[in-house]
Chains A and B, each alone.
Chain A
Amino acid sequence: MTSGQIEIQLIAVVVAVACALPGTFLVLRRLALVSDAISHSILLGIVLGFFVTGDVTSPLLLVGAAAVGLLTVVLVSTLERTGLVREDAAIGLVFPALFSIGVILISRYADGVHLDIDAVLLGELAFAPFDRLVFWGWDFGPVSLVVMSIVLGLNVAAIAVFWKELKLSTFDPALAVALGFTPALVQYGLMSLVSLTAVGAFDAVGSILVVALMIAPPATAYLLTDSLPRLLALAAAIGAASGIAGYWLAYFLDASIAGSMASMTGVFFVLGWLLAPERGLVAAARRRARQRLEFAQTMLAIHLANHEGKPEAEVESRVEHLHGHLRWEADFAERIVRGAERRGLVVERVGSLELTDAGRTLAADAVSR
């Protein structure tokens, strides 16, 4: 690997982790689509900031763009409060308008010169290593790596400092109010983090893919754990893995790195959806199958216990009879009987089934419950 490749992957990882942290709270607070709105409308902030400063790399641009991101949130909630449109429509009205203004401004006044329409959607991760931060002859690395490291540090610090507030207002907003916290303040704090992160990540991965990095890894992690610290750690890890895997996918396909990273977050999500230990589709299907077998074995035990010691027991306890009585197919009945034998619930003596003590207890328990 060349040093450029390593730097790109490093940026990808830092961006992904920085996005996953505030993203986790968005997913938990059902605000996922706010990231969509913010990541689009910051474009307008970047363009306006560029018109003011005339410099795409100015730190002022970052602040201005983040402010527009926050303005989006304010506009959405103002619009919603008028009662004229609902929240989903309010989001869908505000950001396309702001984004459109941004795109039109770029293509009329700045296209190809300093800002590029394609870069808005794709990011320029592949060129990031060429844009270096050099001070007093010292090379501090690619600008976007430095910027995103600072953003990541800010996110970690903010989450650590306001851990209690974030946790409480996320899981029990009513209690948070009762205890004297201000959920609105926490909300806007979180939105500021999201805006700042989206602006920082914008250069690297473009506006829409910020959404992938903010939402998909935390949602995947949400399928795997119930504890908030583990959720954050897993989301960060999945984001980082998507970053590296995405880079190599893009390398072999010679395609967009940001797009590949987003695709990989999707791959990880599908893997989690299918294979999560408890909540995955496979685990759920196996659990249902097992429950079906266990239920049938219990039925068998109850059936045998019912007729035990009665004159009809001879007929009722024959394996062939289960078909007529419990409406089981022959091979299903066979499987259940063998399973029950293995569990030590019944023994078979010359074609006729007999309950063991364990089987009797199971039947009695099941009936008395």
Chain B
Amino acid sequence: MSGDLLAIGLFSDYTLRTVALGSAALGITSGALGTFAVLRRQSLLGDAISHAALPGVALAFLLTGSKAPLALVVGAALAGFVGTLVVMGVTRTTRIKYDSALGIVLSVFFGFGLVLLTFIQRRPDATQAGLDRFLFGQAAALLRRDLVTQAVLGAVALAAMLLVWKELKLLSFDPDFGQSLGFPMRALDVLLTSLLVTAIVIGLQTVGVVLMAAMVIAPAAAARQWTDRLGLVALVAGLFGAAAGVIGAVVSAEAERLPTGPTIVLCASAIVLVSLLFAPRRGLLWREARGRRDRRRLRLAAVLEDLWTLERQHVDGAHAHSAAVLAVMSGGAERSLAELEQQGLVRRVGDEWALTDRGRAEAAGRESR
């Protein structure tokens, strides 16, 4: 489908519009809130929460017998929240470290969720169909009521984040200082975790529990490369998340046999890759270019200084020197001399080289600096 057709499809096709709007909502929310998780080195808490949500979905279905999005989302959120409480409890009361606690919660809750899912699936009635889309997500199955739930929850979470923005910033950068100012840091920590849980459960139906963590981590990690300001990082992360969500979901809904969660995650990963390579100042290519520029500048400066030193060691000041002598003093002299000549800092005297007046001024100025 070409771009125009896709755009037309996007606005006329009801399903596609639902899918795109839902994915945008989840992308913005998880991107913006993921910023804090990544900043606080809690990226993988998102992984634990999303896996831990699975038994919540299954239990909510078993208890209420309905697949109403709100019931399942509440179940998922409660289970995710219990999961984080267990992680905190284990690390506080035992000598087991954070990573192991996350690993246990992630895998055991998920295992229990699979037990419940298979248990539900083997029951005679067929009302359970579709619960397994929570594993890898299925955008095409999104309904209007799912979209409304996602959008409302996302808006609430984002509004709460903006409301306590300053406090969250304090929590992320200097919790001790915040404590000393009298802010309730523990309560803020719990609030932020609850917001993260909300962001994650919004995406479970579209992206699935297995890969939802990537939607928390990838947009924020990508956005971080473009700016140093927290507000901008969160904003850009939200945009990246929305872009990955919409593109991935629409592509997966259009193509056959293309599971939504993995498709969205690959879009997000592509954004990360581009950011890591091309982001100004921090990006790897940028850094490589700067390294080259710095090395060249150092090389030229070294030759210029060598000439200046030689000049002062000789009685007849402006006396020229052969490139060979300079090459002994610093490598790659031939190339550097040619470049310096272009800049008008050295001049050729027969086979040898001498400083121009400008070159002398430049070298002297550099030395005095």
Chain A residues in the interface with B (C-beta under 8 A): 27, 30-33, 35-36, 79, 82, 84-86, 88-89, 91-93, 96-97, 99-101, 103-104, 107-108, 111, 117-118, 121-122, 208-209, 211-212, 214-216, 219, 222-223, 249-250, 253-256, 258-263, 265-266, 269, 273, 279, 281, 284
Q: Counting CB contacts under 8 A, is B295 at the interface?
A: no
Chain B residues within an 8 Å CB radius of A122: 114, 118
Q: Counting CB contacts under 8 A, is B272 at the interface?
A: yes
Contact, CB under 8 Å: B103 / A215? yes
Q: Counting CB contacts under 8 A, is B258 at the interface?
A: yes
Chain A residues within an 8 Å CB radius of B135: 121
Which single residue of chain B is at the shortest CB-CB distance from A94?
Answer: B269
Contact, CB under 8 Å: A259 / B94? no
Contact, CB under 8 Å: A92 / B136? no
Contact, CB under 8 Å: A258 / B111? yes
Chain B residues within an 8 Å CB radius of A96: 211, 213-214, 217-218, 265, 269
Chain A residues within an 8 Å CB radius of B113: 259
Interface centre among B111, B115, B262 (most CB of A within 10 A): B111
Contact, CB under 8 Å: A111 / B106? no
Contact, CB under 8 Å: B225 / A111? no
Given known A93-B214, A262-B112, contact A208–B96 (CB-CB < 8 A): no
User: How near does chain B come to A179, taking the closest CB pair, in angstroms?
Assistant: 25
Which single residue of chain A is at the shortest CB-CB distance from B270?
Answer: A97
Chain B residues within an 8 Å CB radius of A32: 97, 99-100, 102-103
Size range of the interface on B? 35 or more
Chain A residues within an 8 Å CB radius of B314: none
Which single residue of chain B is at the shortest CB-CB distance from A104?
Answer: B262
B288-307 to A contact mask, C-beta < 8 Å, 1/0: 00000000000000000000
Given known A32-B100, A82-B284, contact A259–B43 (CB-CB < 8 A): no
User: How near does chain A come to B59, taking the closest CB pair, in angstroms?
Assistant: 13
Chain B residues within an 8 Å CB radius of A263: 108, 111-112, 115
Which single residue of chain A is at the shortest CB-CB distance from B255?
Answer: A108
Chain A residues within an 8 Å CB radius of B214: 92-93, 96-97, 100
Chain B residues within an 8 Å CB radius of A269: 104, 108
Q: Which 5 A-B pairs have the closest CB atoms?
A: A262-B111, A266-B108, A259-B114, A100-B262, A212-B107
Chain B residues within an 8 Å CB radius of A33: 44, 47, 99, 102-103
Chain A residues within an 8 Å CB radius of B115: 249-250, 253, 255-256, 259-260, 263
Not counting A33-B102, A86-B38, a sample of 19 additional A-B residue pairs whose C-beta atoms are within 8 angstroms of each other reads A85-B38, A91-B43, A96-B269, A100-B265, A104-B262, A111-B257, A208-B107, A215-B103, A215-B107, A253-B115, A255-B122, A256-B117, A259-B111, A260-B111, A262-B107, A266-B111, A269-B108, A273-B90, A273-B94
User: How near does chain A come to B335, taking the closest CB pair, in angstroms?
Assistant: 30
Chain A residues within an 8 Å CB radius of B217: 89, 92-93, 96
Provide the main secondary structure of the chain A interface.
Answer: helix
In angstroms, Cα B41 to Cα A66, docked, is 28
Chain A residues within an 8 Å CB radius of B321: none
In angstroms, Cα B113 to Cα A117, docked, is 17
Chain B residues in the interface with A (C-beta under 8 A): 38, 41-44, 46-47, 51, 90, 93-97, 99-104, 106-119, 122, 132, 135-136, 210-211, 213-214, 216-218, 220-221, 224-225, 257-259, 261-263, 265-266, 269, 272, 276, 282, 284
Contact, CB under 8 Å: A223 / B122? no
In angstroms, Cα B214 to Cα A131, docked, is 36
Partner of B221, one of A89, A215, A254: A89
Which single residue of chain B is at the shortest CB-CB distance from A211?
Answer: B107
In angstroms, Cα B98 to Cα A27, docked, is 10
Interface centre among A93, A118, A211, A222 (most CB of B within 10 A): A93
Chain A residues within an 8 Å CB radius of B106: 36, 208, 211
Chain B residues within an 8 Å CB radius of A79: 276
In angstroms, Cα B110 to Cα A186, docked, is 31
Interface centre among A36, A84, A91 (most CB of B within 10 A): A84
In angstroms, Cα B122 to Cα A85, docked, is 44
Interface centre among B100, B110, B213, B225 (most CB of A within 10 A): B100
User: How near does chain B come to A34, taking the closest CB pair, in angstroms?
Assistant: 9
Given known A259-B114, A259-B115, A261-B111, contact A215–B262 (CB-CB < 8 A): no
User: How near does chain B come to A311, taking the closest CB pair, in angstroms?
Assistant: 50
Contact, CB under 8 Å: A107 / B257? yes
Contact, CB under 8 Å: B94 / A208? no
Chain A residues within an 8 Å CB radius of B97: 27, 30, 32
User: How near does chain B come to A101, taking the closest CB pair, in angstroms?
Assistant: 7
User: How near does chain A come to B64, taking the closest CB pair, in angstroms?
Assistant: 20
Contact, CB under 8 Å: A208 / B95? no
User: How near does chain A come to B211, taking the closest CB pair, in angstroms?
Assistant: 5
Chain A residues within an 8 Å CB radius of B259: 103-104, 107, 117
User: How near does chain B come to A152, taking the closest CB pair, in angstroms?
Assistant: 20
User: How near does chain B come to A90, taking the closest CB pair, in angstroms?
Assistant: 9
In angstroms, Cα B225 to Cα A215, docked, is 33
Interface centre among A31, A214, A259, A266 (most CB of B within 10 A): A259
Which single residue of chain A is at the shortest CB-CB distance from B96?
Answer: A219
Contact, CB under 8 Å: B269 / A100? yes
A-B contact pairs, 9 of them (CB 8 A): A27-B96, A86-B38, A97-B266, A99-B210, A104-B262, A104-B266, A219-B96, A259-B110, A259-B115
In angstroms, Cα B106 to Cα A215, docked, is 10
Contact, CB under 8 Å: A92 / B102? no
In angstroms, Cα B221 to Cα A121, docked, is 27
In angstroms, Cα B258 to Cα A93, docked, is 21
Which single residue of chain B is at the shortest CB-CB distance from A209?
Answer: B111
Contact, CB under 8 Å: B96 / A222? yes
Contact, CB under 8 Å: A254 / B90? no
Contact, CB under 8 Å: B110 / A262? yes
Contact, CB under 8 Å: A93 / B108? no
Contact, CB under 8 Å: A255 / B118? yes
User: How near does chain A come to B285, taking the closest CB pair, in angstroms?
Assistant: 12
Contact, CB under 8 Å: B44 / A103? no
Which single residue of chain B is at the shortest CB-CB distance from A280?
Answer: B94
Which single residue of chain B is at the shortest CB-CB distance from A208?
Answer: B110
Chain B residues within an 8 Å CB radius of A92: 43-44, 46-47, 213-214, 216-218
